Amino acid sequence: MAASSRAQVLRLYRALLRESQRFSGYNYSLEIIRTYAIRRIRDAFRENKSIKDSEKIEELVNKAKENLEIIHRQISNFKA
């Protein structure tokens, strides 16, 4: 993986974890969602860390970006 791709993936990973941390509050169900989201993010990135095919990496990065947008929307809905 090129250095720029690696940096992009790491930024995306951190952004997903950071955004997932925002699922917090006194509501127990939000706590469960936050824990699940963080676990899924870590598992997915760990599962795909050995992929070398640049097309597959690009596909996974695009999917992660879509998931980041979904997380952001969900947090906005919970806060509203």
Domain for residue 45, yes or no? yes
3-state secondary structure (DSSP) of residue 49: coil
Domain extent for 20 = 6-78
- Name the CA dihedral angle for 18, 19, 20, 25, rounded to a multiple of 10 degrees: 100
Domain for residue 39, yes or no? yes
Q: How many domains does the chain have?
A: 1
Domain for residue 1, yes or no? no
Distance separating the N- and C-terminal Cα atoms of the chain = 40
C-alpha 25/C-alpha 54 separation (Å) is: 39
Domain for residue 10, yes or no? yes
Cβ contact 75:22 at 8 Å: yes
Compute the chain's Rg from CA coordinates: 14
Lowest mean pLDDT among 2-6, 21-25, 27-31: 2-6
Domain for residue 55, yes or no? yes
Q: Global pTM?
A: 0.86
Instruction: Write out pLDDT tens, residues 37-78.
Output: 999 999 999 999 999 999 999 999 999 999 999 999 988 887
Domain for residue 32, yes or no? yes
